[in-house]
Amino acid sequence: MTASSALDVMGHVADRIVGIPLTGPRVAIDGPDGAGKTHFADQLAVVLQSRHGQATVRISVDGFHNPRAVRYQQGRHSPLGFWADSYNYDRFRHDVLEPFAPGGSRCFRRASYSHATDEILHPKPEIAEPTAVLLVDGIFLQRVVLRQHWDLIVFLDVAFIETAKRMALRDGTPSDPEDPNMRRYVGGQREYFRQCDPQQRAHILIDNNDFDHPRILRDETPQQG
């Protein structure tokens, strides 16, 4: 399937989400760093509300980083360290995914870590509306410990040569994905691709190399119930 605009693609994904025969499904917006996941998920939440009157809860897995001492325990430039040690998945499952499971409490926390202070957080829990869709953006969302928790997985596929340029504008990192200073990030994501094959496992695969004109490459949204 192709689409002529980002709004067309958002509308298609929004329609798919509200068509899932579950109350408040859990949706992952996966893809490499710099693919546009946060923007996509934010805009998708707007479309869900305007088009379907559907409430959402927006969470980023970046709120569940491990402290620096854990993240860099294999070295500051280690690709395997980036892949294995970046996130606290126990807290992420406990504070986000399990509360939004069928029959869950809907009592969740948005984050477990402060990047500013490098501290573990225990914010006051929030209560989601019973029918709110959980929209989570982040890298590595299809690793084995998370895969079973998603009701729909969207993968934004963008070449590393393009994501490196976007990260350079956003973070000031090198624009060449093969630069030694990008080894940690690009290498860690290549390890994710090797171990988890996220492009093939995603239900909806989107070419997001062009922000304004993304293309749906595959849609295999699961039919449940």
28 in any annotated domain: yes
Reported as a single tens digit per residue, the pLDDT across 144-171 is 999 999 999 999 999 999 999 999 999 9
Q: Is residue 102 part of a domain?
A: yes
Where in the sequence is the domain holding 52, given as residue range(s)?
6-216
Q: What is the pLDDT, as a whole number, of residue 3?
A: 45
Q: What pLDDT is attached to residue 225?
A: 40
Reported as a pLDDT band with limits 50, 70 and 90, residue 46 is: very high
What pLDDT score was predicted for residue 221?
Answer: 62
User: Strands, DSSP E only, in 31-164?
Assistant: 56-60, 107-108, 113-114, 119-120, 126-127, 133-137, 152-157
- CA nearest to 151, candidates 3, 5, 15, 17: 17
Q: Name the token pair of 108.
A: 């969740």
Helix axes 6-18, 37-52, angle to 10 degrees: 60
Query: What pLDDT digit, counting tens, does each position of 214-223 carry?
Result: 999 999 865 4
CA-CA distance, 12 to 205, in Å (whole number)? 12
Tens digits of residue pLDDT in 180-196: 999 999 999 999 999 99
3-state helix, strand, coil in the chain (%, to 5): 40, 20, 40
Residue 67 covered by a domain: yes
Write the pLDDT tens digit of every residue in 5-22. Answer: 899 999 999 999 999 999
Percent of the chain whose pLDDT exceeds 90: 93
DSSP conformation letters of 150-188: -SEEEEEE--HHHHHHHHHHHH---S-TTSGGGHHHHHH
48: phi then psi, degrees, rounded to nearest 5:
-60, -40
CB-based contact 202:192 (threshold 8 Å)? no
Structural domain count, the chain: 1
CATH number at residue 67: 3.40.50.300
Mean pLDDT across the stretch 103-109?
97
Q: Does residue 221 form part of some domain?
A: no
